[in-house]
Amino acid sequence: MISVDTLEDNTAFAKKEQADFPILADPTKATATKYGVLRSIPTLGSVANRWTFFIGLDGRIQAIEKQVRPATAGEDVVAKLSELGVPAKK
């Protein structure tokens, strides 16, 4: 996961949510810019869209989910990984 928040904010989020996955802090928005996910909101400035990129072992983007629903994101990711032929972890 990549977030444009600071390392401190991401660390607090991970602890609060008991996240068991890495979160890349991108406060300069350099990575978000390269992936084309930034959008401008008048009252907030530049923020990142909540998109999911599925990247293969070869480093190529296999799929992009642009309609991420936070309530079902975990299940949606599992379904997409299955669709892409990624074996389930045992």
Instruction: Write out pLDDT tens, residues 24-42.
Output: 999 999 999 999 999 999 9
The chain-wide mean pLDDT, for the chain, equals 92
What is the model's pTM? 0.79
Q: What is the pLDDT of residues 49-85, one digit of tens each?
A: 999 999 998 999 999 999 999 899 989 999 999 999 9
Which pLDDT belongs to residue 2? 87
**Segments in 1-90 forming alpha helices (H):** 7-17, 30-34, 73-83
**C-alpha separations of 83 from 56, 72, 80 in Å:** 13, 16, 5
Per-residue pLDDT for 90 more than 80? no
Q: Find out whether 39 and 63 touch, Cβ atoms under 8 Å.
A: no
Q: Residue 21 and residue 15: Cα distance in Å, rounded?
A: 11
